Every structure is written in C-alpha cells, then in structure tokens.
Structure 1
Amino acid sequence: MNLSTTPRSPITHLRHVAIAVPDYEPAVEFNRGVWGLSPVADDRDVSFFAAEASSEQYILRVRRAAEKRLDLIAFGAENAAAVDALAERLIAAAVRIDREPGKLDTPGGGYGFRFFDPEGRLIEVSSDVERRAARALEPRESIPRKLSHVVINSTDILNTKAFYEQHLGFRLSDWLEDHMCFMRTRIDHHILAISSGPHVALNHISFEMRGIDEYMRGSGRLIRHGNKPLWGPGRHGAGDNTFTYFMDPNGNVVEYTTELEKIHDDETWVPRRFEATPEAADQWGTGGLITDAMIPAMFNEPDNGLWTPSPL
C-alpha cells in the first residue's frame, strides 16, 4: 500500500506525442508499415496513429511541415476538475498558457489545456477523451502495445526537472550519472526522462511491446527492412527495460522496449544513481555502451517549434 504523504500528481499517464516533419509520406509509411502502428485518422497533412492494444485514441501524431519540430507532448489527467485545478496553479505561477481549458477538437475530443514548459516545449493535459476499443495482442504479434515514454533534451536539466516536479507533480525515479533523470507520476518507472543536451530537442519516443519475444521479433523486422539499430538489442540498468533504438525517416530516434520497472511505493523508493558503465548501460552485454551512431542521433537537431503554438 502506498502511504506517501506527498500529494499525488494530477498527471495519470503519457497520452501521445505529436511531431511535425518535412518528409511526411515516408513518415506515414514507416509508422503504419514497418513500425506497426494503426492509422485512425488523416486529412492529407496530418495522420493519427494508434496502438492496437491501447485504449488511447492515438499515441502518435505526425504533421506535414516545412521544418521538423516537436509539436507537443500530451499527458492525461483524472478528470476535468483536475485539469482546471492544474491550469489555475500554472496561471498563478506565471507559466505561459497557450490554450485555456476547454473542449478538444482532436480525435476522441475531451477537455484540456496547453502551456509551455520553461524551455518552450508545448505540453497538453487533458481528461475525458473518448476511449478507443482495444484488443489484447496475440503471442508473437510484434507491434507496439502502447506508448511507453518520451525523452527530451534540455540545456538546463535541473531547472527543467524542477518545473515538472513542482508544477506537475512528477517524482524522480533514478539518475544516470548527472546527465539524465527518469521521472514518474504513477507506478511506471518513467513516462518522461530529461537528458542533458547541447540544444533543446526531442531525444526519443519509446513504444512498449507485448513481451521479450515480441520485442525481439519487432527488432528483427526492422532489421530485415534495412533499418540498422542505432543501439541494441540490450537491457538498461535504470528502468530495467529492454531497448532497441532506430532512426525514423526524418531523423527522430524511436525505441522498442518492454518490461519497464514498476515502482509501487513512493514512500520507500530512494532514487538511485547509475554510472555509465557497460554493465549499467546494458545488463545483457548484447548492445554494450552507447554507440557512436546513437550519440548524435539522440541529440537530434535543435527544435524549431519552441514557444510556438501547434496549428492543431
């Protein structure tokens, strides 16, 4: 039983990630083809992708744009009252609001608002989004089960971490040395991680598979289609999850993972510090230390959408 006296975060889970890309058609084909997501809506310039086993309306949104950017990160809240209360707190703290609480016009509707974090990323928090019919994945069905987590690059990791803790109720799970922190709001070890980088950018988006066998089969499918892993297969120390990282057609890093660690008792959990050793980077020893290909890929290009509202 969780006996923590710390107020519970209003954030329940990671709902979806939205990106804008110049090479739109290859991105659409990659996600609905080899990556294994299901298209649920599109209007020529934007596509929404769901995971078959997730009741979220969509977990990834891809928009056609002249420049590559992270459009927004969307989190879920328990109800409209939680959305309103969070918006009031952020307004009182002089956080820049993009859209005040109201009805959403994206697939599934719902009630939510948008604001900018201290480095200019657009964040959405919503509730009452219509649930999508989901199904259990079959053994050996190697497509994503759900959205696992998102990692962002920050030029001021301590300030960014403090914002998510103080304003959104995130809690620290672990550190990787002093250059990456893993943040949670419920039992998943992290739904957000913040990595120190040379510029503000998207680091990677991670998708959870049904199990180890499905994770390996999915990784193999990507390899057979000519997508060489940037790093992996392997198993991390922090989070205890498996990893295989690939690059999508627009140079964003995406990950297959499974078996992310669960933290059931906030009161007794003590954040750990992992060193960048071969054993901590990859417990299995199959992927080894982070590769020369992964380092520049995860830094990504500077985000061109900071402090700019998304057009939808």
Structure 2
Amino acid sequence: MSFSPITHIRHFDLAVPDFDRQVEFYKNHWGLTVQHDDGDVVYFAAEGSPEQYVTRVRRSQDKRLDLVAFGAADRSSVDQLAQELGSKGIQLVSEPDQLQTLGGGYGFRFFDLEGRTIEVSAEVETRQHRKIEERESIPVRLSHVVLNSAQPEKMLAWYERHLGFRLSDTLNHPHVGDLFYFLRCNSQHHSMAIARGPHASLQHASFELRGLDEYMRGSGRMIRAGYRKIWGPGRHAAGDNTFTYFVDPNGNTMEMTTELEMIDEDTWHPTIYDAQEPETSDQWGTGGDMDEFITKEMFNDSDNAHLFVAPPV
C-alpha cells in the first residue's frame, strides 16, 4: 500500500459464555488489572502498558473473537486508511468518528478478508501505568495476537496490501506448506501472525512479561493454580521469544512470553523456518515438540458463524 498506517496492537476483545470464570482468570491469576466493569463487559489493562486496555471480556451466550484493535499515528492516518479501504470495496462497519469505548479516541471498524472485525484508532487517552519491578510476574503489555485461517496465503497478501504489515518470517512444513506467517507493524518481530487452520478463529493471544525470571514465575503461578498448560516453557526460533501456553476457562489459548526479537527494518531479511526441525519450535528443548495435540488445541472453536457480524460493543 502507499503508506503504513498501523503503529502497534492495542487490544483483542472476546465474547464468552463462561463470563465469571474468564474474568476471574484474568484478574486473579493472569495478572491483569480491571480498568472498568459494567457488569456485562470488563476491560482489563496491563500494569506496564499505557493502553487503556489490552483485552476486553463480554458476557455472551456465544463464544467469539469480537475484534482486534490496532493503533494509528494520528487522525489523518485513520481518515486516509478508511478512504483507501472504502475505495477498494472493503466493507466498513463504521466511518471514522469518536469512539465510545473506554479511553475514547478517533477510529473506525471494518471487516478483514475473512470477516473479522478490525478496529484502527488514534488519540485514545493513555492510562497511568508504571514500571514492572523485578520478580513481578504480571504482564507488561499485550505482545501479539495470532489468527487461524483456512486461507493463510490470501490473508497474508490482504494484510500486506491493505494495512501495510510486513512479513518477518515464515514457518513451513515441507509436506504441508506454510504454517505460520509472522507479521510486523513496527520494530517488534511480530504484532500479529496468521496460522494455517481449518477455520477462522483466535489461535492464541500473547502477553509480554518483564524478563526471563518473571516469565518463569508467571508460568509457575498458572501451573500451581491448576490451569492446563499445553506447551512450554520453551523458546521459539522465529522471534526468539519464550513461550508457555495455557488454556483459559473458555477454551482460548493464552501465552506468556518475553524477549521477543526487535528488528532493524533496513537490514532484516525474512527466514523460512523448517517446522520439522526441533529447534524451530523450541530452541531450548524444554517445552516438547509441537505435535498434533497442541495444534488441535490451538485451532480453537470456529468463528465462522460470526464472520461479517460486528460485535454489539
């Protein structure tokens, strides 16, 4: 595209049937802070992040990924993106306007290639945040979101063309093809990724912790609390980040991570990693190989019934 409007990821929003347990999971175990609670929607902030919230949980009979939100540099970037998307026939959910969600701001929503709701905004009020201290094993910020897709190649091309994302690395299996596309919108190795799956769904969401010790302490806390760990602790090759994956009360996969690679835009060259090599999934060899069980867990429940349907909030 002619310009790259996206500066960073803001938040991802979930609708869940087991609302109370999801809220309890984030609040009392995962280490997020309730920023606002209206009874049916709870906004959660990360203590180290200036974002008003990094995830939002909505009470619903149906489970779904409500939306993924990204930041833009300013109001003019929001307007320009909306104009470009509209001119290319992409369906807008709303025109650029003042947002009515926590923190306000100026933005709009639209459907991506497969019908997920995406929000882009600027001028959102920042929250008072703080430095996360040594041994404080709570998320600093939202790191990235991974989306499952049955047509990942088309999704990659769509996000590159329309939102200006850049491909950092690819995870490939010689007999299956490309499994993962890691996409960046800033110097962080990836703020989102697209994974090959049987349907559209949230593959996982990842939260950055302060450092290795905090990451291990956080992982241990979740294990002791009895939440199901499906993979980790380990360290990926692409992105060079650590990983421990847990299943939340509604069957979504949540990751604790740290030390995600920062890249130099002028010198970076994408690598194709072989998924059959053990070091690709886990450099340390501590988390175990990526197997069919883990893959199926991360397929999650299909969002197909909710595609091209905007959330009510």
> TM-score when scaled to structure 1?
0.96
The offset of 1:269, in angstroms, is 1.5
Q: Which runs of 5+ in 1 are unaligned?
A: 1-5
| Alignment partner, residue 191 of structure 1 | 191
Q: Secondary structure at the match of 2:30?
A: coil
| Alignment partner, residue 18 of structure 2 | 23
| Alignment partner, residue 287 of structure 1 | 287
Q: Secondary structure at the match of 2:81?
A: helix
Q: Aligned AA for 2:208?
A: E
Contact 1:219/1:244 (8 A) holds in 2: yes
Distance 1:186 1:206, change over 3 A: same
The offset of 1:263, in angstroms, is 1.0
1:78 matched to 2:73? The reply is: yes
1:269 matched to 2:268? The reply is: yes
| 1:126-152 CA distance string (max 9 Å, x none) | 000000001001100000000000000
Q: Aligned AA for 1:158?
A: E
| 1:268-307 CA distance string (max 9 Å, x none) | 2111001112111100000121144422111011113211
Q: Secondary structure at the match of 1:230?
A: strand
| Alignment partner, residue 123 of structure 2 | 128
Matches within 5 A, 1:169-248: 169-177=164-172, 178-248=178-248
Q: Secondary structure at the match of 2:96?
A: strand
Looking at structure 1, the residues matched to 271 and 180 of structure 2 have their Cα atoms a distance apart, in angstroms, of: 12
Q: Aligned AA for 1:83?
A: V
| Alignment partner, residue 37 of structure 1 | 32
Q: 2:152 pairs with 135, 154, 157, which one?
A: 157
Looking at structure 1, the residues matched to 82 and 151 of structure 2 have their Cα atoms a distance apart, in angstroms, of: 24
Q: Which runs of 5+ in 2 are unaligned?
A: 173-177
Looking at structure 1, the residues matched to 307 and 3 of structure 2 have their Cα atoms a distance apart, in angstroms, of: 29
Q: 1:47 pairs with 42, 59, 77, which one?
A: 42
Contact 1:28/1:47 (8 A) holds in 2: yes
| Alignment partner, residue 87 of structure 1 | 82
Tell me the C-alpha RMSD between the 2 structures: 1.0
| Alignment partner, residue 260 of structure 1 | 260
Q: Aligned AA for 1:263?
A: I
The offset of 1:16, in angstroms, is 0.3
Matches within 5 A, 1:1-16: 9-16=4-11
Looking at structure 1, the residues matched to 42 and 107 of structure 2 have their Cα atoms a distance apart, in angstroms, of: 21
1:97 matched to 2:96? The reply is: no
Contact 1:144/1:210 (8 A) holds in 2: yes
| Alignment partner, residue 167 of structure 1 | 162
| 1:106-144 CA distance string (max 9 Å, x none) | 111000000000101000000000000010011000000
Distance 1:34 1:230, change over 3 A: same
Looking at structure 1, the residues matched to 20 and 291 of structure 2 have their Cα atoms a distance apart, in angstroms, of: 29
The offset of 1:7, in angstroms, is 5.7
| Alignment partner, residue 3 of structure 1 | none
Q: Aligned AA for 1:311?
A: P
Contact 1:231/1:291 (8 A) holds in 2: no
